[in-house]
Structure 1
Amino acid sequence: MSEDIHIERRDGIVHVILNRPAVKNAVTLAMWREMAEIFAGFAGDRAVRGIVLRGAGKDFSVGADISEFEVIRDDRHQSAAYEVAVDACSGAIAVLGKPVVAAISGYCLGGGCHLALACDFRFGDRTATFGIPAARLSIVYGLHSVQRLLALTGVSNAKRILYSADRYPAEQALSMGLLDELHEDAGLAAEGFLQRLAANAPLSIAGAKSMLNGLSMGAGALDPPAAQRLIDEAADSEDFQEGRRAFAEKRSPRFRGA
């Protein structure tokens, strides 16, 4: 693992930390690729019950590291390859069958917003500032990110955000749907929220996440046979039997994700 991404584990909750505070956690191409591998790796780890994605220092992320664009994103072919890496990263977050919360302070711009949109929830503090400056760089924001933005904010707000390239403070981002909750300490709130979710059945959360994400991404995004497999696997699971036993015995269930 590179020094640009730091991992902390706390009682089943993992913190994935963008670790370039000197440049406001700008994301390099190598980091997009590394994060895709990191999140894909969490899928088979039953000890991981939730993930907090945050930035080191005062900012979540100012987005892609534009300083390297002249070398790695100079024409349509390089741009297409770059978007493949970006979409692989956000896709790994979105398809992971575990809850992911973005804990946002300071700037959450462009590619940083792309990362936050892929998470299940976005918790911010009052310093959080959102924006997508693609229109000031003659970049068309990626299709999957536009779909996620649309699902969260509605078409009018999505157009305003993308057309204007403006920045939106935390309170306005909350009203537009970019933020879910405001807290004094977004990281602490995100971890506490995930600890509460960790008491619930992992298979239930994974199934709900898969179906809700598919439905929110538009026609054809949901795979009904895959959704049915998740329903069937939960019905055949030891966790389902444990849930029934715990209910009958009037105790808290002990779910294992199997």
Structure 2
Amino acid sequence: MGHHFLDIAGARTLPTPGLVATDQAVEHVVAASAMGVVHGPAGLGKSYAVERALARHAGVAVSWVEFPSRPTMRLVAATLFEQLTRDPAGRRSRFVLTDELLESLGRGPRAVVVDEAQRLTKDCIEFLRYLHDDRRTRFALLLVGGDDAWSVLSREPMLRSRVYRRVALDPLTGPQVCELMGSFHPIYDGVDRELLALIDDHVGRGNLRHWAAFTHTAADLCARAARDRIDEEIVHNAFAVHGGVVDVGGGEVTTSAPA
């Protein structure tokens, strides 16, 4: 199962629209041994959502890989080989590695996840497509990436036409934050929606990673003050820790909280 950012004790998984859509997409992609893409801005929980969805498929072997910017095809082949076989690639050529990958990818139910897929080159995208299309293989291929991942991947018609499911994650809207974040952590239980909206306006911005960072700080402040949940004072102090100064008491609100 995936971990929350900062591994906050007591944090709960929220049924955000992105999580629900990713759950369904991964289910379909794994069942069909197809291709899927999950993309969106940093901090929205893409990798967590995919990892969580895959954890429900106990009989499916999962290989999770990530590459530096503009990797070579040989690096992609070697990394995949080592993930699949748990053996070092050594000095094998790309062609030898490809033959062994085709054999490995034909064994049993499997899912391959490529994180930060926007880093791939055209040749590497074509290489992954080739592995997936070969008649000897049958595996689910999930490409997960940042905000520009789809613009990179969709430039290749051969891959774009094969994408079975695509999920584009967006930041939570203000109403979604007010509806969902009260359940994220016990310190928000029963908290006024206006206070949640204030946190989102100045720190959260609909981004789960930003909310996790704020929650980590606020939970610590609550524990130090022997309080079960946040209040205006806790929020004021947490904003100060995160780089902003906010008058929560009804006056003008100013903040320099980081983007």
TM-score range, shorter chain: under 0.3
Greater relative contact order (Cα 8 A, min sep 6): structure 1 or 2? 2
Relative to the length of structure 2, the TM-score reads 0.27
